[in-house]
Amino acid sequence: MTDTDTTLRTAAPTRRTVVAAGAATAALLPLTGVRQARADDTAGSESTPVFAHGVASGDPLPDGVLLWTRVTPTPDATPGSGRGAPVEVSWEVAEDRGFASVVASGRTTATAEGDHTVKADVRGLRPATAYFYRFAAGGAHSPVGRTRTAPAAGTTADRVRFGVVSCAHYESGYFTAYRRLAARTDLDAVLHLGDYIYEYGKGEYPLKDGVVREMRPVHETVTLADYRQRHAHYKTDPDLQALHAAHPVIAIWDDHETANDSWSGGAENHTPETEGDWAVRARDARRAYFEWMPVRPSTEGTVHRRLRFGDLADLHLLDLRSFRDRQTGLGSGDVDDPDRTITGRAQLDWLKSSLAASDTRWHLVGTSVMISPMAFGSVPAHLLGPLAELLGIPREGLAVNVDQWDGYTDDRRELLTHLRDRGIDNTVFLTGDIHMAFANDVPVRAATYPLERPVATEFVVTSVTSDNLDDFLRVPPHTVSSVAETAIRAANRHTKWVDMDSHGYGVLDVTGERAQMDYYALSDKTDPLATAEHVRSYRTRSGTQRVERAEEPVR
C-alpha cells in the first residue's frame, strides 16, 4: 500500500465566476500545445510514430512526478491490438516551455505488451516547482505538458486547491468541464473520483438527447483489447487531453472502469454465460487502467493510497470495488450484517490507523460512493421511479441505496465511530458516483442528528456528462427535480444542499481555517462551447465538522 508524504503549494489564484468559451480556449492553447503538437505528429510518413493520445502527469511528490504518454507505432495502428514493434522513447523535463533548461531526461521502450504506453517516474526535481515535460520517438515530439512538484515534507502549505470531477460518459456529451479546469492556473492537481470511462456499448446507457457522439469500440468493453480501445478513444478527446497536459491528475476508479455495480466477485453488468469469467474481465480492465492512467498502484495492485500536502492536509484514496462483498438485495436486512464489507478488512484498518496517526490539519478522503446516510422514501411516487433507475434504490420507497455505504452500514459505523472516539476532527469526504451535487454533515447516526455532533463533512460533485434526474425525466433542468430535492432534504436533515440536475465540476480550496467546495455547472453538456457558471459554495470551518453556505467562490 503506497503511503506517500506529499505537500503542494498553490499559485496565486486567478479566475472568474463565469468562464466564457472563447477566452478559456484562447488561454489554454498556448499552455498545452495539444492541437499543434497532434497536427505535427500525424504529418510524418507511414512509419513515423505519433503521440495521438497526448501526455499526462499524476501523483506529484516533493522531488518528482509520474509522467505518461502513449506512442502509436504507425498512424494506422489500432490500440489494444497487441501488435507492433517496440519503440524507443525519450523524455525530458525542463524549467521552461522552450526546453532550454532541461533538468531531467531519460529513455524507455514502448512495447505491444503494455499497449505502447509508457510511464516515467521522475525523481530528483526541486520541491514546489512548476516543470514542463515532453516525449520523443522516431523524430516526432509529443505535446508539451505542465506539471508541478510538491513542497518538501515538513514545510507548511498556505493552501491547496483541487479540481474535482467524476462520471464522464462519452456518448452523453462533451468534456467541456475538463476544458474549464484545464484553463485554470490556480490548481495544484485535479482529483478524479471514478467512472473516468464507461463500459457500455453504443446507446446502452440512458440518453436524453440520444448519442451525442460515438465512442469506440461501439460494443460493450469486455476484453483487454476492448478496454484499451475505450481508454484510447477517451484520450483522443481534446478537452481531456488539455486537462491532463495542464495539471497532475490524482485518480481512483469506481465501477464503470470495469462494469456497473461491480464487487469483488462480479457485477450487475456482467453475464458469465456470454461474457466469460469475471476475474479475467476485472483483471484485464484494471490492467488497461494502469497502462493508460498516470496512477501509481498500491502494493496490492489497486488504487488505494495516501498523499500528503505538508502540514495542511493528507488525502486518503479508497478502492471501494476490489474488496467489497456483493450488494445485498433491495429491502434486505443484510445491509447491517457485520460480516459484509465495502472496504475489505485490510483497507479499513489502514484507513483508521492512518487517520489516527495523521498530524495534518485536514484529513481528505476520496471515496467513489457516498458515505452519508441517505433516505429516499419520502420522494413522491412519480419521481421515485426515475431516481430508482438512476441510483439503484427500490421503486417501492425503501430508503437505501445498497451500492453506497448505506448498503454496508457496519463498515461505516466502525469508521465514523473511530473518528468520534479518537477525536479526529476535520475529516472531509470527497465523493462522486451519483451524478448529483451534495453538501452534507456526516453523523454517526442520522436519527439523532443534529442533537448528536457530526463527525465529518462530505462534498459530492455531480457528473461531467453522465445522466442525472432531468435527463432521465426528459424535462428541463431545475423544474420537476426541485420537488425531489426538497423531499430529500426533509428526510435527511444532515443534507444542507442537493442539486440533481447540473453537470460540471467542483473546486476544493483548503486553508488552515476552512475547506470550501465551489460548485460549477455547465450551460449545456451537449454544447462543445458551453460556459461554466458558479452555482453554490459550501465550507466547513476547522474544528466544527459542519458545512455552511459560503456566499462567494474562493478567488
Question: Which residues share a beta bridge with 121?
Answer: 66
For residue 173, what pLDDT is reported?
Answer: 96
Position of cell 453475464? 271
Q: For 262-310, what is each residue's pLDDT tens digit? A: 999 999 999 999 999 999 999 999 999 999 999 999 888 999 999 988 8
**Residue 471 pLDDT level (bands cut at 50, 70, 90):** confident
pLDDT at 157 over 70: yes
Residue 128: band (very low, low, confident or very high) from pLDDT cuts 50, 70, 90? confident
The model's confidence at residue 130, banded by pLDDT at 50, 70 and 90, is very high
Which range of residues forms the domain containing residue 516?
Answer: 2-549
Residue 451 falls inside a structural domain: yes
DSSP string for 90-135: EEEEESSTT-SSEEEEEEEEE-GGGTTEEEEEE-SPPTT-EEEEEE
The span from the CA of 500 to the CA of 492, in Å, is 15
Mean pLDDT of 30-59: 60
* Cα–Cα dist 303/236, whole Å: 24
- 113 within a domain of the structure (yes/no): yes
In terms of pLDDT, which residue wins out, 14 or 370? 370
CB 208 within 8 A of CB 474: yes
Q: Is 63 exposed, middle or buried (0-12, 13-18, 19+ CB in 10 A)?
A: middle
In a domain, 24, yes or no: yes
What pLDDT is attached to residue 387? 67
Three-state secondary-structure class, residue 240:
helix
pLDDT given at position 379: 66
- List 69's β-bridge partners, or say none: 55, 118
What is the pLDDT at residue 213? 95
17 is a domain residue = yes
Residue 244 belongs to some domain of the structure: yes
Query: Which residues have CB under 8 Å from 271's CB, separation 6+?
Result: none
pTM as predicted: 0.90
Nearest CA among 120, 19, 169 for reference residue 520 = 19
Asked, for residue 355, whether it belongs to a domain, the answer is yes
> Mean pLDDT over residues 464-485, rounded?
87
Is residue 39 scored above 90 in pLDDT?
no
pLDDT tier at 447 (50, 70, 90 boundaries)?
confident
Within-domain flag for 555:
no
User: What 3-state class would DSSP assign to 370?
Assistant: coil
Residue 6 has pLDDT above 60, yes or no: no
Strands 159-165 and 130-137 turn out to be: unpaired
Residue 44 has pLDDT above 50, yes or no: no
Averaged pLDDT for residues 491-503: 95
What number of CA atoms fall less than 13 Å from residue 232's CA on the CB side?
Answer: 24
C-alpha distance from residue 340 to each of 194, 345, 398, 476 (Å):
23, 10, 20, 40
> Three-state SS for 458?
strand
Name beta bridge partners: 122.
65
Contact 233, 171 (CB under 8 A): no
CA distance 136 to 71: 9
Output the domain CATH number for residue 336.
3.60.21.70
C-alpha 379/C-alpha 116 separation (Å) is: 50
How far is it, in rounded angstroms, from Cα 252 to Cα 357? 23
Q: Can you give the pLDDT at residue 329? A: 78
Say if residue 74's pLDDT is above 90: no
Mean pLDDT score across all residues of the chain: 88
Is residue 554 domain-resident? no
Mean pLDDT for the stretch of residues 247-262: 97
Per the structure, the count of domains in the chain is: 1
Q: What are phi and psi of 481, to 5 degrees?
A: -65, -25
Q: Is the pLDDT of residue 33 over 70?
A: no
Q: Tell me, what's the pLDDT at 38?
A: 37
**Torsional sign, CA 417, 322, 492, 461:** positive
